[in-house]
A and B are shown apart, each in its own frame.
Chain A
């Protein structure tokens, strides 16, 4: 046998489905069912069951929660593959333990991003078919559809798959119900030096290829909004870079949360040292600062030089109808920033505080995504239709909740079938 190492049993509780796990899965699947029911209602009745309505005389918002969470999910996906790529390219050995959990986060987030588009479509079936047949490169959706959903997701899967082969091969030695699965994944991997070298080479080149793809994909999503001349608040060159940075903020933030949870549940204190979290915290801090800088620049531009529609929209955000959400989002972001600055300054990192920052930036991310999507529609009409309004309905909330539950379930399931942290090297069959 070419594999040098041996495992006696599957690590990290793989294959052992505890009652607590079943309870969690039950709750999650119930929520998924609720989402499915809501979607069924929507399929039957049409999008009338949502709070979405036409712009113009109907004075509504044509895009709402679905699009908000689409860009949120895509944003979150930033974390994983970026981390993995950075770790590989910069050889950040210390961060290696979060690599796979980050990659999984990416894959699941992208899956959800793809799924949440379906309820947004009036004709979902046509959406799937017609995009393959007719999609036009000129539409910013082309990038979203081909690069984000297909390219980015596919690339991530490839990377994830290749990166997991070694562990799969290790696990495949252990007789279990999962052995077949692990064997399939390993696909004949035997951890020969040639194979290791080959993998090192591919993963390097893959990482190289993924980084620009990542920037392009997140920018593409920004372009969906940023290229629209007719919508105050959207038409901005900062939209694309802003999307990239905000993606990083929310992705790293969520990664902090996921890592902390897994650390506790899977008792990974050894692998996931506070240093790992500190590293993530510093990265998050940097991204928040960049994002706040972008926000300030954008705010100043629109207040100083914007035409009256731009100013009116900004007013609605700062002091008007959306001010509560706006200041909650900004407040969360600033609070996260302060928490991080404090820890960096004191060089004392606390995992709970870092997790809190991660949660806060995700609240901010969802809030800010919503504030990008919705107010420009309700308060951004260039013709005097008057102010519009949008309030999501239970159908929209249920579908989003269902998708979150689905994502969490898939994550929880994966953690039970495959090592979420790279199996450390073992010598002589003993761990």
Chain B
């Protein structure tokens, strides 16, 4: 069975955050939810300044601290390497969130309809979209996925549950790449079977220097970074924050 992973080429990333937007539109995530985030960093002092960028999806760890602590097994590891969240089982305790060292979990603090970019419950909008509300909603997100047939795709489902990057499980099961990977204008994101030595991701890992984030924690992420870059250290300052607070 394929065991998927992502390889991110930092030498190619321009920090444009098109992946972030692709993720948001594909997965219908609410405001303030960044399943994919792109860090923009600054290091050093003028004129010895370095600016660089680092996309941060969920790491889909092989030793996932979030799945370990989930009290009800809503967060779990799939056989194909994806770390999934069953939004029909999650009780909303947010233990996965505090256990995750990567900050990738996004809780539905309020009803997603009310926290969407277009207020789906706005009567004006309702009238104008002929009742087809929201105006765009990915119909693939409600279904069941995997041999275990659980509800693990997409976001914005209901208030009080945890959501996060799914590696676009609904696309992957169709044979497509995750939305961020498919859309990266610089082809900096790669997705494939890390167990297959001939896959594009395995090849990249052989050809280029690579690292994983917070490797010392032994979370064994399935997201690898390649290129001349390095993991962000103490000197990396994030610039140009996204508006996270809702």
Binding site for B on A (CB under 8 A): 45-48, 52-60, 62-63, 120-124, 126-127, 130-131, 133-136, 138-142, 145, 224, 227-231, 308, 377, 381-386
Main secondary structure of the interface of A (DSSP, over half): loop
Given A228-B65, A385-B238, residue A56 in contact with residue B244 (CB < 8 A): yes
| Assembly CA distance A122 to B68 (angstroms) | 19
Q: A120 — which chain B residues lie within 8 A by C-beta?
A: 93-94
Give which listed residue, A58, A126, A133, A142, contacts B245 with CB less than 8 A.
A58
Residue on B nearest A52 in the bound complex, by CB: B109
Residue on A nearest B109 in the bound complex, by CB: A48
Give which listed residue, B103, B107, B159, contacts A57 with CB less than 8 A.
B103
Whether A59 lies near B98 (C-beta < 8 A) is: no
Give which listed residue, B73, B104, B108, contacts A122 with CB less than 8 A.
B108
Q: B97 — which chain A residues lie within 8 A by C-beta?
A: 54-55, 62
Whether B238 lies near A386 (C-beta < 8 A) is: yes
Q: B242 — which chain A residues lie within 8 A by C-beta?
A: 57
Residue on B nearest A308 in the bound complex, by CB: B234
| Assembly CA distance A62 to B214 (angstroms) | 21
Stretch at the interface among B31-39, B147-155, B203-211: B31-39
Given A123-B160, A131-B91, A383-B39, residue A139 in contact with residue B69 (CB < 8 A): yes
| Assembly CA distance A136 to B90 (angstroms) | 13
| Chain B 219-246 interface residues, beta-carbon cutoff 8 Å to A | 219, 232, 234, 236-238, 241-242, 244-246
| Assembly CA distance A414 to B97 (angstroms) | 40
| Assembly CA distance A140 to B99 (angstroms) | 11
| Assembly CA distance A386 to B109 (angstroms) | 21
**B145 contacts chain A at the CB level, 8 A cutoff:** no
Whether B69 lies near A140 (C-beta < 8 A) is: yes
Q: B71 — which chain A residues lie within 8 A by C-beta?
A: 131, 134-136, 139, 141-142, 145
- Closest chain B CB from A354 CB (angstroms): 37
| Assembly CA distance A145 to B92 (angstroms) | 15
Residue on A nearest B65 in the bound complex, by CB: A230
Most buried by A among B39, B73, B103, B245: B103
| Assembly CA distance A180 to B64 (angstroms) | 55
**0/1 interface trace, chain B 7-40, chain A, CB 8 Å (1 if under):** 0000000000000000000000000111001010
Given A62-B107, A141-B71, residue A127 in contact with residue B217 (CB < 8 A): no
Whether B37 lies near A56 (C-beta < 8 A) is: yes
Q: A63 — which chain B residues lie within 8 A by C-beta?
A: 94, 98
| Chain B 97-116 interface residues, beta-carbon cutoff 8 Å to A | 97-111, 115
Given A139-B68, A228-B65, residue A58 in contact with residue B246 (CB < 8 A): yes
- Closest chain A CB from B83 CB (angstroms): 14
Q: B161 — which chain A residues lie within 8 A by C-beta?
A: 122-123
| Assembly CA distance A134 to B72 (angstroms) | 5
Interface size class of B (residues with CB under 8 A): 35 or more
Binding site for A on B (CB under 8 A): 32-34, 37, 39, 41, 56, 65, 68-74, 89-95, 97-111, 115, 159-162, 213-214, 217-219, 232, 234, 236-238, 241-242, 244-246
Whether A231 lies near B101 (C-beta < 8 A) is: yes
Give which listed residue, B90, B159, B232, B244, contacts A58 with CB less than 8 A.
B244
Name the 6 nearest CB pairs between A and B, nearest first: A122-B92, A230-B101, A122-B160, A56-B103, A58-B244, A141-B71
Whether B160 lies near A228 (C-beta < 8 A) is: no
Q: B104 — which chain A residues lie within 8 A by C-beta?
A: 56
- Closest chain A CB from B43 CB (angstroms): 10
Residue on B nearest A128 in the bound complex, by CB: B91
- Closest chain B CB from A410 CB (angstroms): 26
Q: A228 — which chain B residues lie within 8 A by C-beta?
A: 65, 69, 98-99
Given A57-B103, A58-B32, A141-B71, residue A384 in contact with residue B95 (CB < 8 A): no
Q: B33 — which chain A residues lie within 8 A by C-beta?
A: 54
| Assembly CA distance A130 to B93 (angstroms) | 12
| Assembly CA distance A45 to B108 (angstroms) | 11
Given A123-B92, A130-B89, residue A57 in contact with residue B98 (CB < 8 A): no
Q: B103 — which chain A residues lie within 8 A by C-beta?
A: 54-57, 381, 383, 385
- Closest chain A CB from B18 CB (angstroms): 17
Whether A139 lies near B244 (C-beta < 8 A) is: no
Q: B32 — which chain A residues lie within 8 A by C-beta?
A: 54, 57-58
Residue on B nearest A232 in the bound complex, by CB: B101
| Assembly CA distance A247 to B223 (angstroms) | 41
Give which listed residue, A122, A133, A141, contacts B159 with CB less than 8 A.
A122
Q: A121-B93, A141-B95 are known contacts; what are 8 more A-B pairs with Cβ within 8 Å?
A: A53-B245, A54-B33, A54-B109, A57-B32, A122-B90, A224-B95, A384-B39, A385-B238
